[in-house]
A and B are shown apart, each in its own frame.
Chain A
Amino acid sequence: AQTVTQSQPEMSVQEAETVTLSCTYDTSESDYYLFWYKQPPSRQMILVIRQEAYKQQNATENRFSVNFQKAAKSFSLKISDSQLGDAAMYFCAYNNNDMRFGAGTRLTVKP
């Protein structure tokens, strides 16, 4: 079974600084999708960024980028120029016909 591990239950970053959230996964598949989802307090879970495993180029969405290391099965999320609105739970997810989520990382942004 595929598993997703987020080893950082909580992270903190100063406003305008950069933070990296870690995620590793376990799979024997070669073709799959990886996601980072954001869940603000009492609000809807939304997609932050998506990576296709067959693409070597790291995905980027504005201030959000990933470091995808397929051989190491690592998929970290980098948030640049952190803003107060980035404070949320972040979930890493793996999908190959069956979506699996990590336990989440709570990100605090300090003004």
Chain B
Amino acid sequence: EADIYQTPRYLVIGTGKKITLECSQTMGHDKMYWYQQDPGMELHLIHYSYGVNSTEKGDLSSESTVSRIRTEHFPLTLESARPSHTSQYLCASSDGHQNTGELFFGEGSRLTVL
């Protein structure tokens, strides 16, 4: 199993609340990613980071923000959650020194906004 962890696994909150989804990896990977995935559907890249203090927006526009203050930690924050944010959020990491670019995924955080 990959050493990448996401919390919480499940979260149900009301509209307007601020939430932070946590993602940590113990593999020393420099690259980290957040994907948004509706159940049984394709993955959409919303944020990525190639190292500390580096963050970029992905293909899918998202109202969330991320930070990368430490190599192992890549939290995603929604300042004011809305029902349209209901989805599963997958965190992943990869070793930028390996040419393969293989991604290691966390178990996901399933968010429901009422």
A residues sitting closer than 8 Å to B (CB atoms) are: 33, 35, 37, 43-47, 50, 52, 89, 91, 93, 95-97, 99, 101-104, 106
Contacts and interface: CB of A to CB of B under 8 A. Distances in A.
B100 A50 contact: yes
Interface residues of B, number: 20
Interface string B25-62: 00000000100000011110100000000000000000
B41 A99 contact: no
A79 to B, nearest CB: 19
B105 interface: yes
Interface of B: 1-2, 33, 40-43, 45, 90, 92, 94, 99-103, 105-108
B103 A99 contact: yes
Nearest to B90: A45
Contacts of B106: 44
